[in-house]
Amino acid sequence: MAGKAAAPGTAVLLVTANVGSLFDDVVHTHKPHFMALHCQEFGGKNYETSMSHVDKFVKELLSSDAMKEYNRARVYLDENFKSQEHFTALGSFYFLHESLKNIYQFDFKAKKYKKVTGKEIYSDTLESTPMLEKEKFPQDYFPECKWSRKGFVRTRWCVADCAFDLVNIHLFHDASNLVAWETSPSVYSGIRHKALGYVLDRIIDQRFEKVSYFVFGDFNFRLDSKSVVETLCTQATMQTVRAADTNEVVKLIFRESDNDRKVMLQLEKKVFHYFNQEVFRDNNGTALLEFDKELSVFKDRLYELDISFPPSYPYSEDSGQGRQYMNTRCPAWCDRVLMSPSARELILKSESEEKVVTYDHIGPNVCMGDHKPVFLAFRIAPGAGKPHAHVHKCCVVQ
């Protein structure tokens, strides 16, 4: 039971799961008092047909054995896929353990905290909900995609006298492996940089008091493709295949210089087929972290704990191939839990002789969709928020 956990303080669990994967084992292991689950592509890739099953899934989740000790919940589901202007397919779930007292959520319209009681589900159109801020990125951020669902949803909480924002985010993907390979950094990296910068500017602007923040979701961060290919295929020769009618490059084939000209890598718009997938799994792929560069632009604004798990995408969706990557994209750490410098101080204050901070992925050997869920578990130390409680006015019931 979460209330009887040995370590002091308030246990917090933040999870990002691209298609809402199950996470019962993580709940059982870390016994959080406050839990946040951020989903992207909620309802799956084919949301037009599967969204009808979402309500049933949510009700079953709220009433499941794993969640029986969580007597308060807030669920925000962007289900209105017919609204091209606003639809993001983001789903944000927040669960509060029965032992946790005096939890408040911020009302962005009234600009004050309100005590959280009961279980409430908000769906369809979220624009009118004052307990969150939601935005879809402008179309001109990613003109290649005629109907992008990328955007973010922000909520603000006060837990154990600590106020913080939780931001569910989904950034733009790489539309073509061939285009990503052309430059270093890629044009897509620049688009993600622009979008993430917009989100960070938005959540620290002058409209509201500044608080710590955690941003977690599918950032679609990719390894620097040009550098990765050059490293993996150092001894290879490259063959370029062009379309007969347009002369456009449609395929790159990298062959070993000897060894019967064995194909090492085949690169197409949506094909990244490297002959040895073990390089992405050996030692959790840490040898490839040097090519994970997209976050470095924000090194003064965002912090991340050390990554010690393999790339979270793109896994096979074959139920019997839980460890296998698909040959569609270069494996990368797309799914992350990032935080502001002040949030980093909050969780590191909680470190003691006992390890209470864990940053990892879920279901390493189990098929959980093309993304593996990623989580951050930590504890807010007793009294950590006390110096700021009067500033946030969290302790006043509104």
pTM of the model: 0.92
Q: What's the average model confidence in pLDDT over 128-148?
A: 83
pLDDT of residue 115: 97
Compute the average pLDDT of residues 342-367. 82
Mean pLDDT of the chain: 89
**Of the candidates 181, 151, 173, the residue with the CA atom closest to the CA atom of residue 313:** 173
Q: What is the mean pLDDT of residues 155-179?
A: 96
- Helix/strand/coil for 16: strand
Q: Is the pLDDT of residue 46 over 70?
A: no
Q: Quick one: tokens of 24? A: 């019962």
pLDDT of residue 44 exceeding 90: no
Among 72-86, 160-174, 183-197, whose mean pLDDT is lowest?
72-86
Amino acid at position 356, single letter: V
Supply the pLDDT for residue 85.
Answer: 76
Percent of the chain with pLDDT over 70: 88
* Residue 352 to residues 91, 293, 365, Cα–Cα distance (Å): 34, 31, 31
| Look-up of token digits 């009887």 | 4
Three-state DSSP state, 61: helix
Mean pLDDT of 44-48: 62
18-37 pLDDT, tens per residue?
866 666 788 889 999 999 99
